[in-house]
Amino acid sequence: MQDLVNLLSKFIKLVAIRLPDDVYTALKELASRENSHWGKEIYSIMFDNINLALEKDVPVCQDTGVLMFFVDAGADFPHLNVLPDAIHAATVKATEEVPLRPNVVEPFIEKNTGNNVGTRLPWIEWNILPHTSYADITLYLAGGGTSLTGHAKVLPPASGFKGVIEFVLDVISGYGLNACPPFLVGVGLGTTVETAAILSKRALLRPIGSSNPNPMAASLEKILYDKINGLEIGPQGLGGSTTALAVHVEYSARHPATLAVGVSTGCWAHRRGTVRLKSDLSYELLSYKGVKL
């Protein structure tokens, strides 16, 4: 198991320090067309910060979040038995060695555990891939500021897409200033609050530049993208034409009586990375080209 722990710990470090390729490219593109005085200044400091983090080998943002893993686990992946323990051990190891900020607080006793492990944390979402021998592990480090935006609500279906758009704009206009814009916006549609919420989070995992394969969902993404940028929140809330890195919509079919909508944001320092672990524990970094662990 130690090899797996070492590998995962290095992967956690990479995610904390380096922005994935798609996020970096999207930020560059936004910076190139932002014309506001403050916006240009903010982008310039952001890129200084991104480069300095790589140079110094330290986390790009001090808030390394509560570690959230999304595992697409092949049913034939031979290390499934030890994977949950390995994820926990790697979290403890990386917290000490990178270091990450110890962010896990036990409620009721209000005590920081000091090692980023606590009741049900790190959070792990599992998805089983039949007849597959690899595992894709996606790690998302969301800071507190951008997590405070999260909202989900069950609307009556008569609200329709109009209700969805109103809800998303209410959330973003109310909380977006503090969510470290320009941010990625994830919208989940489903039956119940928790399914809409988790889909909104999964929407943040999709590569920037991708559209929902359903053309109507893609059209909703485009409408929301234009409207959110129309709010002119701008980099760090100081105004400007670039507010959203992208808007991603994920959905499930729903109960006829409900239309649940969830909204999550991912700050500009969107630290989510994916590694594919093969059965022999060789790996492929899907979100970073030309990088080794």
Partner 1 sequence: MNLTLKTPLKDEDLEKVNVGDIVYLNGVIVTARDAAHERFLKHGRELPINLKGLPIFHAGPIVKEAEGKWRIVSIGPTTSMRMESLEYDFIERSGVKMIIGKGGMGRRTAEACKRFKAVHAIFPGGCAVVAAERVKRVLGVEWLDLGVPEALWIMDVENFGPLIVSIDTKGNNLFEERLNAINGKKAELLKNLDKLLI
The residues of the shown chain that bind partner 1, judged by CB under 8 A, are: 38, 41-42, 45-46, 48-49, 52-53, 56, 58-64, 99-103, 105, 110-112, 114, 143-145, 148, 161-162, 165-166, 169-170, 173, 176-178, 180, 216, 219-220, 223, 227, 230-233, 236-239, 267-269
> Least distance from C-beta 49 to partner 1, angstroms?
4
Alpha-carbon distance 80 to 31, whole Å?
42
43 or 288: CB nearest partner 1? 43
**Cβ contacts of 139 within 8 Å, gap of 6 or more:** 11, 12, 15, 67, 68, 69, 70, 271, 272, 273, 274
Alpha-carbon distance 62 to 39, whole Å?
22
State the maximum Cα–Cα separation within the chain, in Å, rounded to a whole number: 54
State both tokens at 98.
């990178």
Name residue, tokens 């509560």.
Answer: 66
3 state SS of 143: coil
> Least distance from C-beta 259 to partner 1, angstroms?
13
110 or 280: CB nearest partner 1? 110
232 or 284: CB nearest partner 1? 232
> Least distance from C-beta 106 to partner 1, angstroms?
11
80 or 238: CB nearest partner 1? 238
> Least distance from C-beta 246 to partner 1, angstroms?
17
> Least distance from C-beta 67 to partner 1, angstroms?
14
180 or 198: CB nearest partner 1? 180
Alpha-carbon distance 231 to 227, whole Å?
7
Handedness of CA 127, 206, 94, 10 (dihedral sign): positive
29 or 76: CB nearest partner 1? 29
Alpha-carbon distance 234 to 238, whole Å?
6
> Least distance from C-beta 221 to partner 1, angstroms?
10
Alpha-carbon distance 117 to 114, whole Å?
8
